[in-house]
Amino acid sequence: MVECLKLRQKLERRDFLRIVEVFPPNFTAERDREPLIGLRQKTRDFLERVKKIQNLADAILVADVKDLSRLKLGTIYSAAMVQEEVGIEAVPVITARDSNRPAIRSAILTALSLGLDSLMFVWGDTYADDGAKNVYDYTGVGEMMIEAGALFERAGVRPTFFAPIDLATLDAPRGRRLAHSRLKSGAEYLLAQPPTADVSYTFPSHMRTLRRRRLNSRVLLNVFPFRSSDDIEYCRKKFGWDIPPHLGAIAEKGGEPELLREAKRVADRLRAVGCQGVYVSTRGRPELARFILD
């Protein structure tokens, strides 16, 4: 096993924290498109791509893939591979939507047994009528973290938990209650959506929101690598994100390279103003973190 500095130690040093999100190895569910599932090759490729950015991240967040057209390895197994083979702390995502309470308890214990001290808990968007059931055995993400914390305590391990937060809800009483409830339930940091897409509009807007709600020391803003003006519009419609119009102009002028430069400007600004860190999405392309964080 490659030795790595524990994320807990990095948090205690109060360094600028860089969390990079990746997807686990995955394949198309359509046999005609991918007749053979090359597990070993796909796994090797996944680990090699993560190795190329290991010096840029303090932790690798292994996200869930909500797409029934994809077959995927589990986040806990994938995170354990990253931690064992790459030597960087990995944080698997555990989703309330997909498993009942006994299965989630087992997942937490499995993570513990594999030396994964850091976990992220999410609620998960519901599946529409597309062949998968929504479970939701818990009342909320906070209850999941409280139960996980009790299991970690019994194992004699101090955990590091993360949970999501929707910035658009923080001006409403329910959104504020949810944020503070998740912190009280054990979240070290809340990872934000929608993304902080640019330095001119969303960066100052998001910072004002966090400072107004006294959450700026407990929320990591998200940097998201948009690909094109069409991609920006797709994300607006699919996720309901408030993306400033001038980002489309940036895309039209310079394409993906200029959008990546804007993402890097956001990450650099977060560090410059003394934020706690940054949460970088890579959308299944870990190498993009190099353009944003290097």
Residue 26 sits at φ, ψ, to 5 deg, of -145, 160
Q: Would residue 218 count as lying in a domain?
A: yes
Q: What is the CATH number of the domain that holds 11?
A: 3.20.20.220
Residue 222 lies in a domain: yes
The reply to whether 1 falls in a domain is no
Q: What is the pLDDT of residue 3?
A: 45
Per-residue pLDDT of the chain (294 residues; tens, 9 = 90+): 444 457 888 888 888 999 999 999 999 989 988 888 889 999 999 999 999 999 999 999 999 988 888 999 999 999 999 999 999 999 999 999 999 999 999 999 999 999 999 999 999 988 877 678 899 999 999 999 999 999 999 999 999 999 999 999 999 999 999 999 999 999 999 999 999 999 999 999 999 999 999 999 999 999 999 999 999 999 999 999 999 999 999 999 999 999 999 999 999 999 999 999 999 999 999 999 999 999
State which residues form the domain around 39: 7-293
Q: How far is CA 2 from CA 12, 80, 163, in A?
A: 22, 12, 27
* 234 occurs within a structural domain: yes
CB of 206 within 8 A of CB of 278? no
Q: How many CB atoms lie within 10 A of CB 4?
A: 18
Q: Please report, as a single letter, which amino acid is at residue 2.
A: V
**Position 224 in a domain:** yes
Residue 2 is assigned to a structural domain of this protein:
no
Number of domains in the chain: 1
C-alpha to C-alpha distance for 282 and 56, rounded to whole angstroms:
13
